[in-house]
Structures are given as structure tokens and as C-alpha cells.
Structure 1
Amino acid sequence: MSTAINPPPPSPFGKLLRYLKNSFADGRSPALWLLALVVGVVAGYAAIGLRLAIQSVQFVAFGEFSERLASTASGLPVHHIILAPVAGGCIVSLLLYVGLKTNWLPETRAEGVADVMEARAAQGGKMPLLPGLWSALINAVSVGAGGSTGREGPSVHLGASLASFISRPLNLPARGARIMLACGAAAAVAASFNAPVAGALFAFEVVLGHYALRSIGPVAASSVIGAILSRIHFGASPAFTVPEIPPASLADFIAIIPLGLASAGVAIACILLSFNAPRLVATRAQALSVPLWVLPPVGGLIIGGLGVLAPEVLGVGYEATSVALAGGYAIATLAALIVLKLIATMATMAFRFGGGIFAPSLYLGAMLGALYGALAAPLIGPDSAGSAYFAVIGMGAVGGAVLGAPLSTTLIVFELTASYEASIALLVCVSLASVITTSVTKGSFFHKQVERHGFDLTQGDARVILQTIRARDIMTPLDSHDTAGELDESCVYDDDYLGRVMGFFSAEKLDGAQVRSRHGDQPIVGYITKADAHAAYASALQARHEEEHR
């Protein structure tokens, strides 16, 4: 007679593993904090690695490893300045071609922050890894070869892609997966600017779109880790040099109102040109039967030509931004650099180079603010805080309006300058610029990019839910012996989105319909009712509401 053998009790370590596994599956905050630390390290080092990769390409292309690209390029022969972006464009073309042929890139472009936002809203917080890695490579070559874009957006995308890859085996719920995307973004921004508070706020403001209590701890932990890693490897100095700003007078505060209006004008031009130029160039290329992946060398020729006129427009442009903040440019030079930078950024994006819009928007804002300060400070008199005061405010106002992140940019400025007066003035200026910009462009630059795939994030998640739930997700499946029958006009298809299903029921005044597959003979695969559709919509709305407020 055999006796049952009881399994040995689990060890303390086994209990801990079981607890962590269940905690990850439930999306509990303490477990997410632990994972956030890992994501912070990985995303922080990814941002550092991308920065070093850009500087390495820049060293090969121009012979300069530091941020002083403009000074170095100004001493190079004309043909060198032109050929470096063209050669970089040839490499970007090859990378785009390989990415398309191997399906490592869904489209003929490097991905960025907008794709992170779309993954958060429409894909349950999940992102594939290979497009993130391949896009990072394209971005490194693009910016290092002189492309007039920034490294922060690519860093955010890379950090979010790695965060999603790390959390995928843990089977996190959608809420936890979205928090991990924000953690990766926060660590990347903090590592780029050495600004942990601004990194966390950027993740809340742009990626998550809310400030739920459960997400604050993990996102803050990742952001702090990213900033610590940046300080370990690059020191405590900020991304660009900001001069000491004297106390502002009452007249200085009043003078920021016209600057806010001017910042809105520059932000609107930046958004509309940078968004519409790629569409116009793509339409023209398709009309000529030219593949999009061959465009970068043409863009490199334009960038190189602009670089000959003004080396300050090449690359990230932080050296020129620092000079503008210090009041080192004449009025005519500042006006010219604003125009040339807009054209260079537009050409970089239109001809399929990679890179982000963060650095160009800060550059344009610093130039605008310095220009405004050079004109306004003499009128205000000796009590004025000077040109640097207005340059810092303009930098934050244009950047915040373009990115749709007024609080993040305000905190970046505060962490860079430690000036309370400048931060308060910037908060007013960026709010004015953001309101005007949004009313004209109907969303930030990132929102406009997400609209390419039909998702309108400016209306919140209510509309996105209608575009992400499909009929097959909520239908009642039918057995195989029930799938025969003639094609009924009053039917929906299994891949129809919830919005189409609800619209169909309302238009046809039906309470239910059969669901057919689009494949083969279009067999019946299920049945869906109007009540099912409305219940699914209400349930999804409730889940999103709880996620955003708890």
C-alpha cells in the first residue's frame, strides 16, 4: 500500500518568487517599483549609449566628439560640410531599405516619441524591440552626420522599447505595461538633461497623459536612476550652459506676454512645417515612383548646404543654444538662425533622416528669446534681467508648446537655472504659447504624428477605445455546425472596430447581428448584440478611468 508523499513546503526564497510573480501579474505598485529600478538602469544606459553613438558618428563625419560641432564645422572645407550629411544620408538609406526588407521597420522612417504614445493608448503599452533598436541606429547616424534634429526623442523611444521588452515575460496587465513605458521614457529624459524631476513629469505629461498615484513611485524611481547614471558618466553639468540670471523686475514679467505670442508663432511654424513637409515630399516622391528610402542623400545635400551658410544648424545644436543663452549673437544673426534652423529641421524630417524635435524646439526658443531680449532689454532699462532671462523663457515656451509639455519644460528650465523668477515667468509664457498653439494646430507635434495612423489622442481615450476593440473581442462565438448560411447584409465582420459596430447598429436600428470572417467564403463566426457593444465600451471606459485616477 503506497502512501501519498506531501510536497515539501516552499522555501522563503520560493515564497518570495511566488509573491513577486503574483504581484507583477496583478500590477501591484511595490513590484512595479522593483521593475522600475531595472528599467531605469537599462533605459538610462541606453540613452547614454545613444548619446555616445551619435558623438562617435559625429567624430567620424566632422572630427568632433563633443557638443562643439558648430565651432569645428566652421573651420572645415565647404565640400566636407556638404559631403558629410550626404554620406550619412546614404547610410540612412541603406538602413531604411534593410529595415523594410526585414520588417524591422513598419514604415520608411525611424520611430520616435509619437510611437510610444500610440503604443500606450492603442497597443496596451506593448512595443516591439527590433524597431526600437533599428530606429536608434538610424537616429544615431542621422544626428551624428549633421541632421538638424535631437537625441532626446530617439532616447525616449529606445528606453520605452527596452522597458516593454523587459516587462513582457512578466505578463503585466495593460496598466502595468503602460507604466513601464513611462518609466523608460522618464529615465531617458532624465539621463539626457540631467533633470530627474523634469524626466518624470515628461513621462506623465506626454507618455501616460495622467498623474495617477500608483504610477508616481515607479516613474520617479526610474527617472532618478537615469539622472544618477548621467551624473556618473558625464558629471553634474547640464546639457547646455546657462548663465546666471539676475532677479527680474516687474517690467520683465510684463514683457513676457509679447514673447509668449511670438513663441506661439514659432511653435506653430515648427509643428506645421515639420509635420507637413514629410507628407508633401512623400507625395511628390510617390508621384515620381521614387522609393522613400532613397530620399536621405537628397536631404543630406540640403542640410550640408545650409551648414555651409550657418554651421550652427548642424546636429543637436546645443553649442549654438548655449551661445544664444549667453547673448553671444547679434540681432541679425539670431533672426537668420531661426529661419535656417526651421528649414534645416524641416528638410531633415522630410527626407527621412531620423531624430527628434525636442532639441530643435529648444534651439528655436533660445534664439527667439535672445532676439526678443536684445530688443526689449534696452527699452526696459537698467533694471532689466537682461537677454539671458528672455532667452531662457523663450527656450522653454517654444519647447513646451511644440511638445505639448508645458510643465516638463518649465521644470527643465528650473533644474538648469535654479532661478525661481525665470521659472514663474516661463510658466506664464509657456501657458500662453501652448494655448495659442493648440488652438491653431489642434494638438502638439506628437499628437499630429499619431494622427497618421488614425488615432486622435487630443480627445482622450474615449475615442481610441472605439478604434482598438474589435468585434471578435466581444462577440459570442458560434460552434462549427452553426457557421453555414447565406451572406446577410445585416452583418459585421470580425475585424470591425467597436466604433464601426456601434455605428452600424444605430444606422440600421438593429439590436444584434451575425459576425462573419473576411477570409474564404466569409463564414459566420459569432453573434454580437448592441448590448454587448455598449457594455464593452462602458467597461473599457471604466477601466481607463480607474487607471487615470488611482
Structure 2
Amino acid sequence: MATEPSSLGSLHIPYRRFPVLAAVVVLTGVGAGLGGMLLALLLHAIQHLAYGYSLSHAASGESFLSGVSAATPERRLAALVICGLVAGLGWWALYRFGRPLVSIKQAVKPDGFRMPVTSTVVHALLQIVTVALGSPLGREVAPREIGAVWSDWLARRAGLNAAERRIMVACGAGAGLAAVYNVPLGGALFVLEVLLGTFEWSALVPAVVTSVIAAVTAWLALGNDHQYEVGQLALSEPLVVWSAICGPLFGVAAWGFTRLTEEARARAPKDRRLPMYSLLNFAAIGVLVMVFPQLAGNGKGAATLSFDSDLTIGLATTLLVLKVAIEVSTLRAGAEGGLLTPGLTNGALIAVVLGGIWNMLWPGTSPGAYAIIGAAAFLAASMQMPLTALVLMVEFTRVNHDLLIPILLCIAGSISTFKWMVQRRFMQVPESE
């Protein structure tokens, strides 16, 4: 959720310091772009090696879902077992021997602590390796952490004050997101809406500049491609009505998912139990992936199938139940990762189910259109970032701007319902708690 708005816009920067600040902004964008690019290449290389596809290319046009589907069931299981070993031993060793981790949101608070460089880099690499091997969590936190650590180091070397360093740490995180997903506007909005909670000029300008530079830098190896190839989707009356009706349902679902994941994270072991929990969890996921290859990874494969209208109501329901279960169990077992793509995928699968039922009553709308709208609504509510979720979906899919109307309707319903659910629960909590 967004931090409290601050007076960052009132910062007075002497003219003689503008060159220093400008240099930090540019170098933050370049460094975050290179970091995100290298992490993405590492992810693809491990995926290809683990599942045995496109071995001659670090990044190829063949999708992860295609590679997993072509692998033998035994190879899928072996990859997830290895994932369990890496996750369990890796995070146990990090908690046992590394310095305490500091999250990006903690680092950008006015009294926030500095992120430890070595521990944060190891934490990011563990996320990339485990997601590449098939973990159901997201990969987006890793490039954000690398970008934040890099920008913090730059800001301190340049002698920036505490308020300026906060801005640059947030901008480094947003630039990392922009680089790995090629979403410059989404990365900038993430900084402003989620991390800093302000749209003042002193934050807006460096957020936009760093995210654009990072995204363009990552083109060197990743190309100027978007995440999902989506065909033309038409706006229709059934789609608009469905979006207005189902928006609150996505809010309720997002609230439930948030409760589950928060509780799972709070109860995750950080001691010697972690390796055993992790191995058992990923071995169980491996058994499921032997039957359902769509479950491997952060959910991009299932989201792609949803956007392409390639899922039946029955398969979408099955994948939804299993995806939520393994996402929660993985967090409970002690593994780490983001929830951006998993949340997007959950929303898309819910939308395929609800949209399929709606098409029985009022036919004529592509399931892919429902999926895109549902993904945006669920993501907006679950991560409490309506503007960022809207822009991310547009940048992810390059969807027709006509769909902005139902997307906005659905997001409004989901966000309002989510906030109402949170307020209702807060009012019901006994004072003793």
C-alpha cells in the first residue's frame, strides 16, 4: 500500500547541485536497466537449462509454458525438487548468516533503514533462480531491489540528503520494474502511487526519467517487446455491464487473497525448519506440474492462455484453485517473491470463469476481454494501486483504448469493495488485538 504523502515537493535544491542530482538520476536509470536486463537473462537461461528447451539461446521466442509442456513429467518434477532445495537452503543460509533484510517500503520511509547490499543481492538472486525453476511467485521484486540498492549507493556517494535519497531509492525500484517488464510509465507510477505516495514535481520528474532510461537500456538485450500478444478486442454492452457488476466480486476475492498471503508470510519459518518445509512444498508442486504444466512459474503462461481465450471454464477453475493454493503454500514454506504476476493471473482466471457464465446469459464477448479486465481489477485491489494497475495492463498488452471504459469501471468497483472490507474488518477487531 502507498506510504503517507510527504512534503517531498517542497525540497529546495540549489542550482549548483542540479548537475549532481541529474547525474544520479541518469546513472540510476542506466544501472537499474542493466540490472533488470541481466536478471531477466539469468531467468531465461535457467529456465531453458532446467526444462531443456531453446538451449542455444539465452532468450528466445519460445514461451516458458511451451518449454515446460514439452519437457517430460519426470523432468518437471526434478526441476521443482531442485527449486525446493535451492529455496530452502538458500533462504535459511541468508537468514542465518546474512544481515537482516530491509524492504524497499521500509527503506523509503522518513526514518527508514539502509538496505544491506550483499543480503539484498543474494535475496534477489534467490528469487530469480527459484522463479526460473518453477516457483509460483513473481520475479518483479528482484529487479526492484537491485535498482533500489544501486540508487541508494549512488545517492550516498553523491552526498544527497535524506529526502533526496528516499526519492532515488524509490526511483531505482521503479526503474528496475520498468526494465524487466518494459513498462516505463508503469514503473514511474509505481514509484509515485505506491512507494512515495506523492505526485510532486521533485518525485515525478526523476521517477519518469529513471524508468524511461531503464526500459530503453534493457532493450539492448531484451528488445522493445511487450509481455502479452493480444488480438483486437471489441467493446460491447455485455462487457460494460459485466464490468460494473463484477467489480465488487474482484474486490472481495483480492481481499481474501491478501489475507491469505499476509498470514502465510507471517507464519513462514526462518529457522532450520525452512529447508524441509520448502522441499516438501516444491515437491508437491512438482507432482501437480507433472499433470498441469500451466502451474509452473509465476503465472504468465496461464495469464497468456486467459488473454488468448484458450481456457474453458472448467480448466480455468481448476488452475485458479491450484494457483492460489501453491502461491499461499510457497509463502508459508518460507520462499520469497512478488505477487504482481500471480495476482494478475488470479484475476484473469476468475474473469474467465465469471465471463464464461455471463456469456451463457448474454453472449458475444471474447473471454480474453473479460480476462484483461479482471486481471487489472484484481491487481489494482490486491496491491492497492489502481492507477499503476491500469497503466501496467495497457503497457503489458497494448490493448485497444476502448477497453479503458470497462477496465476503469471494474477497478472502481474492486477498489471500493476492498477498502470497505478492510474498514469493516478493522472495526470488528477487538481492542485487545
| Percent identity between the two aligned chains | 25
Question: Partner of 2:260 in structure 1?
Answer: 273
Q: How do 1:509-524 and structure 2 match up within 5 A?
A: none
Task: Find the counterpart in structure 2 of residue 395 from structure 1.
Answer: 375
> Secondary structure of 1:354's partner?
coil
| Structure 1 SS opposite 2:160 | coil
Structure 2 contact 85–275 (Cα < 8 Å) conserved: no
Query: Match for residue 341 of structure 1?
Result: 323
2:305 equivalent in structure 1: 323
Distance (whole Å) between structure 1 residues aligned to residue 91 and residue 394 of structure 2: 39
Counterpart contact for 1:33–1:221, Cα < 8 Å: no
TM-score by length of 1: 0.69
Q: Is the 8 A contact 2:24 2:158 kept in 1?
A: no
Per-residue deviation, 1:250: 3.4
Conserved? CA contact 1:163–1:180, under 8 Å? yes
One of 22, 35, 49 as aligned partner of 1:33: 22
Work out whether residues 399 and 409 of structure 1, in 8 Å CA contact, stay in contact via their aligned partners in 2: yes
Contact 2:268/2:334 (CA < 8 Å) preserved in 1? no
Listed one character per residue, the Cα deviations across residues 215-245 of structure 1 (whole Å, up to 9, x for unaligned) are 1111110111122123332222211222221
Change (3 A) 1:63 1:27: farther
Amino acid at match of 1:356: G
* Separation in 2, partners of 1:423, 1:324: 18
Residue 264 of structure 1 corresponds to 251
Q: Is residue 43–residue 159 contact of structure 1 (8 Å, CA) maintained in 2?
A: yes
- The letter for the 1-side match of 2:417 is I
Q: Does structure 2 retain, via aligned residues, the 8 Å contact 1:407–1:427?
A: no
Is 1:405–2:405 an aligned residue pair?
no
Q: Give 2:427's aligned residue.
A: none
Q: What secondary structure does 2:108 align onto? A: helix
For structure 1, list consecutive stretches of 5 or more residues without a partner in the other structure: 1-22, 444-550
SS in 2 for 1:74: helix
- Counterpart AA for 2:186: A
**Residue identity matched to 1:43:** A
Please, which of 400, 409, 418 is the counterpart of residue 437 of structure 1? 418
The equivalent of 1:90 in structure 2 is 85
Deviations 1:121-171 (A, max 9, x none): 154473221122111111122101110011112221221122112212223
Residue 241 of structure 2 is matched in structure 1 by 254
- In the alignment of these two chains, the number of paired residues is 406
Name the counterpart of 1:74: 69
- Structure 1: which amino acid aligns with 2:32? A
For 1:5, the equivalent position in structure 2 comes to: none
Pick closer, same or farther for the CA change 1:50–1:173 going to 2, 3 Å.
same
| One-letter identity of the residue aligned with 2:49 | V
What SS does the corresponding residue of 1:295 show, helix, strand or coil?
A: helix
The separation in 1 between residues aligned to 2:188 and 2:423, in whole angstroms, is 25
Asked if 1 retains the 8 angstrom alpha-carbon contact of 2:179 and 2:214, the reply is yes
The separation in 1 between residues aligned to 2:380 and 2:16, in whole angstroms, is 32
- For the residues of structure 2 that align with 1:61 and 1:412, how far apart are their CA atoms? 29
Any idea what the Cα deviations from partners look like across 1:360-390, whole Å, max 9, x if unmatched? 01111121222222222353344x4x22221
Query: Do the aligned partners of 1:204 and 1:210 also contact (CA within 8 Å) in 2?
Result: yes
The code of the aligned residue for 1:130 comes to: T
Q: What pairs up with 1:208-287 in 2 under 5 angstroms? A: 208-246=196-234, 248-282=235-269
From the superposition, tell whether residues 387 and 333 of structure 1 become closer, same or farther in structure 2 (CA, over 3 Å). same
1:497 match: none
**Partners of 1:45 and 1:442 in 2: CA distance:** 42
Q: How far off its partner does 1:27 sit?
A: 11
Once the 2 structures are TM-superposed, how far is the Cα of residue 28 of structure 1 from its aligned partner?
5.7
State the structure with more CA Rg. Answer: 1
Q: Give deviations 1:397-439, integer Å, cap 9, x for gaps.
A: 1111111111011012223324222123212211221222233
Cα distance in 2 between the residues matched to 1:27 and 1:373: 58
- More RCO (CA 8 Å, sep 6+): 2
Q: Using the alignment, how far apart are the partners of 2:87 and 2:154 within structure 1?
A: 28
Shift of 1:29: 5.8
Tell me the CA shift for residue 30 of structure 1. 5.8
1:1-400 residue pairs with structure 2 within 5 A? 31-64=20-53, 68-104=63-99, 106=100, 115-121=103-109, 123-124=111-112, 126-246=114-234, 248-282=235-269, 290-382=272-364, 384=365, 386-400=366-380
The alpha carbon displacement at 1:357 in A equals 0.5
Distance 1:183 1:170 in 2: 16
Change (3 A) 1:306 1:33: farther
* 1:200 Cα deviation from its structure 2 partner: 0.5
Unpaired segments of 5 or more residues in structure 2? 1-11, 55-59, 425-433
CA shift, 1:281, in A, is 4.9
TM-score, normalised relative to structure 2: 0.86
Alpha-carbon spacing, 1:308–1:439, altered in 2? closer, same or farther (3 Å): farther
Q: Which residue identity is paired with 1:358?
A: L
Alpha-carbon contact 1:264-1:437 (below 8 Å) kept? yes
In structure 2, the CA distance between the partners of 1:125 and 1:225, relative to structure 1 (3 Å rule), is farther
- The residue type paired with residue 259 of structure 2 is L
CA distance in 2, matches of 1:133, 1:140: 11
**Structure 1 residues 119 and 439: CA distance shift in structure 2, 3 A:** farther
Distance 2:32 2:145 in 1: 10
Question: Is the CA contact (8 Å cut-off) linking 1:145 and 1:315 kept in structure 2?
Answer: yes
Contact 2:244 2:406 in 1 (8 A): no
Partners in 1 of 2:201 and 2:191 — Cα distance? Answer: 14
Task: Report the AA paired with residue 73 of structure 1.
Answer: V
Aligned CA-pair RMSD: 2.5
In structure 2, relative to structure 1, the CA distance for the partners of 1:330 and 1:251 (3 Å cut) is closer
CA contact (8 A) 1:303 1:344 kept: yes
Letter in 2 for 1:326: D
- Does the 8 Å contact 2:139/2:298 carry over to 1? yes
Contact 2:92 2:274 survives alignment (8 Å): no
Give the Cα–Cα distance (whole angstroms) in 1 for the partners of residues 13 and 221 of structure 2: 32
